[in-house]
Amino acid sequence: MKSSPWWKEATIYQIYPRSFFDSNGDGEGDLQGVTSKLEYVKLLGVDAIWLSPFYTSPNKDGGYDVADPRDVDPRFGNLADAKKMIDVAHSLDLRVLVDVVPNHFSDQHVWFQDALKAGRGSAERSRFHFYDANPDGTLPNNWISLFGGSSWTQVEDGQFYLHLFDSSQPDLNWESPEVAADFETTLRFWLDLGVDGFRIDVAHGLVKEDVLKDHPDPQGLSDALRLDMPMDPEKRYGLLPTVPFFDRQGVHEIYRKWRTLFDSYGDRDVMAVAEAWVHPPVNATRYVRPDELHQVFNFDLLDAPFISSHLYDVMSRSIELMKSVNTLPTWALSNHDSPRVASRVGEQQSRALALFVFGLPGSTYIYAGQELGLLDGVIPDESRQDPIYLRTQGLQKGRDGARVPLPWNGDRAPFGFTSGTPWLPMQDGWKELTVEKQLAEPKSSLNLYRNALSLRAEHLVNIGDIEWIESPLHGSKNPSLLAYRRGNVSVYMNLGESSDEVEITGKVLIVSAGTPDGRDGKITIPAISTLWVQH
């Protein structure tokens, strides 16, 4: 009987290469730096790594503006470095996922440069979305870039091209057979080099509809599509189904073809996870139908408040939705596009939330530095590099805070990340958060993660469903308490500011903070903590 796919309940560690470890002193992380730290990643207890883009790029949007998707940018090394990284990871029994960015190219990609030269009506321009102005001279439509400003930029001959993100990232036209063929070439290139799968950037954005039609609320729509923009949930959820360029039905035909390609690699067990933030949530299930992709990111926890009723709703709904298509959910508390969870909900709260999530069925994604309890970095405006900050003239600060390099050792910045000057400034206050310091402290965030992931693999992976035992809908007497049972382990999270006593017996496997007190068939759960009890 075939064993369960490796990715079904994997722990996947996201590496932002530019901020992970710098091997050559230029202030930016690189692939050799990643390779040199894979032992650390393995000892954390994860199953796979996912690397954000390291491809040839002018780097106007953190590498997501790809100029050549089948080569390595010199700032990160070369293809030999990529191959060595993959081989070393495999020698450590770590799978490797890489980003693929099919919504857009860099304006420095040879295709776009050819399109500029070829002119109106050319085959080269048909690979993108080029349109003339309206008869009255106005833009082709009123869509607003998710990074601020118009989503249209004019070229010298008067035509405009569409870019849902920065003007340096022209959107590709997936009605062009050449686009589809080129991406199949890219997928095969990296699979043949040895990678085990892909994270698909803006997976829901490839197909556009009604390109020449205005949207009734373009600014509201643009804000609704950004996780870091505060917005009333009702307004956000009311706007999302009206998006004319996200979650269109045509994307699924693309992924059915990709799935055939992935499956052609036989027992390699290739997987792909979609970055697809869609509404209503049931739409996410379409991306993981049996003939499409393997996973879809669940973003609901990225902006969830530390409130038991909200967390219960998110978690229970996610599990039930994915069960409807016979798969499991994914869980992520942070990534390179969102505020770090410790900054968003609090340091102790983030530890409790992580431990609670690690017990749930499905795959969990950990953003590098999350295991250290890192907060968002404090970035002076003059040091910011995110195009969101630049395009909004500073009105939105952007994502640089979540991308500050990792602290490895020492008592002052740059904490062993580089022998040079880090590309984003690091905080001297992080001296107690370095890997070196935390390895030596038994109760550190890093050791909590290491212990929890080891226990997860031993007691909870492939155990089956959960049974809620404390929740807003399951008779909980304390609104600050959430708990479920999975197999022979019960997981309790106390979200309150004071300890809580529950009637339960067994061995406490791990606790995120404080010291639980157990006697007479009861256990006292410390304030703002999660514990696992084995029966």
What pLDDT sits at residue 122?
Answer: 97
List, edge to edge, every strand of the sheet that includes 130-131.
130-131, 160-162, 152-154
**Rounded Cα distance, 54 and 41, in Å:** 19
Q: In the numeric block, which tokens belong to residue 423? A: 């590309």
Put residue 514 in one of left, alpha, beta given phi > 0 → left and psi -120 to 50 → alpha: left
What pLDDT sits at residue 252?
Answer: 98
Q: Which residues contact 433 (CB under 8 A, 6 or more apart)?
A: 372, 373, 374, 407, 445
Q: Is 47 a catalytic residue?
A: no
Of 201, 300, 386, 470, which one is the catalytic site residue?
201
Residue 336 · residue 62 · CB < 8 Å: yes
Q: In the numeric block, which tokens belong to residue 348? A: 């102790």
Of 28, 30, 275, 470, which one is the catalytic site residue?
275
pLDDT tens, per residue, the chain with 535 residues: 457 899 999 999 999 999 999 999 999 999 999 999 999 999 999 999 999 999 999 999 999 999 999 999 999 999 999 999 999 999 999 999 999 999 999 999 999 999 999 999 999 999 999 999 999 999 999 999 998 899 999 999 999 999 999 999 999 999 999 999 999 999 999 999 999 999 999 999 999 999 999 999 998 888 888 766 778 878 888 888 889 999 999 999 999 999 999 999 998 999 999 999 888 889 999 999 999 999 999 989 998 999 999 999 999 999 999 999 999 999 999 999 899 999 999 999 999 999 999 999 999 999 999 999 999 999 999 999 888 888 888 888 989 999 999 999 999 999 999 999 999 999 899 999 999 999 999 999 999 999 999 999 999 999 999 999 988 776 667 789 999 999 999 999 999 999 999 998 899 999 999 999 888 889 999 999 999 999 9
Q: Do domains 11-102+177-453 and 110-162 have the same CATH topology?
A: no
DSSP one-letter string for 430-475: GGGSSHHHHHT-TTSHHHHHHHHHHHHHHHTTT----EEEESTTTT
**Rounded Cα distance, 63 and 343, in Å:** 25
Q: Which of 512, 457, 518, 517 is nearest to 489 (CA)?
A: 457
What dihedral do alpha carbons 204, 208, 209, 214 form, nearest 10°?
A: 110
What pLDDT sits at residue 384?
Answer: 93
Domain ranges of the chain: 11-102+177-453, 110-162, 466-534
**Rounded Cα distance, 381 and 305, in Å:** 27
Q: Which residues contact 135 (CB under 8 A, 6 or more apart)?
A: none
Residue 321 · residue 285 · CB < 8 Å: yes
What pLDDT sits at residue 238?
Answer: 86
Q: Is 275 a catalytic residue?
A: yes
CATH class as words, domain 11-102+177-453: alpha beta
pTM for the model stands at: 0.95
How far lies 224's CA from each of 64, 165, 232, 302, 392, in Å? 21, 14, 9, 14, 16
Architecture of domain 466-534: Sandwich (2.60)
Q: What length does the chain have?
A: 535
Classified by CATH at the fold level, domain 110-162 comes out as Oligo-1,6-glucosidase; domain 2 (3.90.400)
Residue 5 · residue 363 · CB < 8 Å: no
